[in-house]
């Protein structure tokens, strides 16, 4: 009995240490507490089953340090000082946090009305990468392969208005949802995307790097694992620079 109790205690302590040592989660949690008075760490400790919470932490732990830097700039309110030279991306927070009723959580992206990665669901299943790309790189991936859904905003006039709106938000340092890609591991090709207008606006403003969520299935063989880990294998649009203004022509 004592050995079982000791093992459970150790597992819990290890999990709490991971929460405390994850720099990206630490910065996000400070933002949550500052802006909402809520705690993402508390959510991860108490709400999801432990395996799901561990997957979420793993997604954050594996994210590049540049994403942590983006959140730190937001926390420090430093992004506006740099906008004259190179505007920066101010990310929205994907990690959920407790409200008064622990059955509910907030997720910043859900307030925008646009599509966004379901962080608790996808990361909890171990099916989400959180990474960064150049805006032009994201656009080359987004235009590759078959576009599974014809979106209303593909109309040229609407596209230009949306890009203009996103440019204004970036210049004002307002939080942006991370663009989203879905990777088919069998083809090593992207089959769904969301966030082209944000990426175009960022590219036109000279933003150097943007955060990107990549959803994928759990790899079932070595080939799929290699596809997931090696970005060089991801297929891009054959043309080097797609027409960013007229999505319908691609």
Q: Contact, 115 vs 106, CB < 8 A?
A: no
Write down the pLDDT at residue 113: 47
**Can you give the pLDDT of all 250 residues of the chain as single tens digits?**
555 555 566 788 899 999 999 999 999 999 989 888 888 898 898 888 999 999 999 999 999 999 999 999 999 987 665 545 678 899 998 887 777 666 667 777 655 444 567 888 899 999 999 999 999 899 888 875 444 444 444 554 557 788 889 999 999 989 988 998 999 999 998 888 888 889 989 998 999 999 999 999 999 999 999 999 999 999 876 555 444 444 444 3
Query: For residue 77, which phi and psi values (nearest 5 degrees)?
Result: 55, 40
Separation of alpha carbons 216 and 129, rounded Å:
8
Q: What are the tokens at 103?
A: 């059955």
**Closest among 139, 212, 210, 138 to 169, alpha carbons compared:** 210
| CB environment 124-156: b (16+ within 10 A), e (fewer) | bbbbbbbbbbebebbbbbbbbbebeeeeeebee
The torsion angle over the Cα atoms of residues 81, 63, 243 and 187, rounded to 10 degrees, is 180
């Amino acid at each position: 009995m004592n050995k079982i109790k000791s093992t459970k205690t150790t597992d819990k302590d290890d999990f709490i240490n991971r929460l405390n040592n994850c720099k990206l989660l630490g910065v996000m949690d400070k933002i949550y507490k500052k802006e909402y008075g809520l705690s993402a760490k508390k959510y991860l400790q108490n709400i999801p089953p432990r395996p799901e919470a561990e997957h979420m932490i793993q997604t954050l732990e594996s994210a590049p340090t540049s994403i942590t830097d983006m959140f730190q700039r937001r926390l420090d309110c430093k992004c506006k000082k740099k906008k004259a030279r190179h505007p920066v991306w101010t990310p929205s927070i994907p990690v959920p946090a407790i409200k008064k009723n622990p059955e509910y959580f907030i997720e910043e992206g859900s307030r925008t009305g646009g599509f966004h990665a379901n962080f608790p669901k996808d990361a909890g299943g171990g099916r989400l990468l959180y990474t960064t790309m150049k805006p032009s790189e994201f656009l080359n991936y987004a235009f590759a392969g078959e576009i599974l859904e014809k979106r209303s905003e593909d109309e040229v006039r609407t596209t230009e208005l949306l890009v203009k709106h996103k440019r204004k938000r970036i210049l004002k340092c307002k939080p942006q949802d991370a663009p989203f890609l879905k990777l088919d591991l069998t083809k090593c090709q992207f089959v769904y995307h969301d966030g082209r207008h944000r990426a175009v606006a960022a590219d036109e403003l000279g933003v150097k790097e943007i955060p990107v969520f990549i959803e994928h299935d759990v790899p079932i063989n070595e080939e799929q694992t290699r596809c997931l880990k090696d970005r060089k294998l991801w297929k891009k649009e054959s043309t080097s620079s797609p027409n960013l203004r007229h999505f319908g022509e691609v």
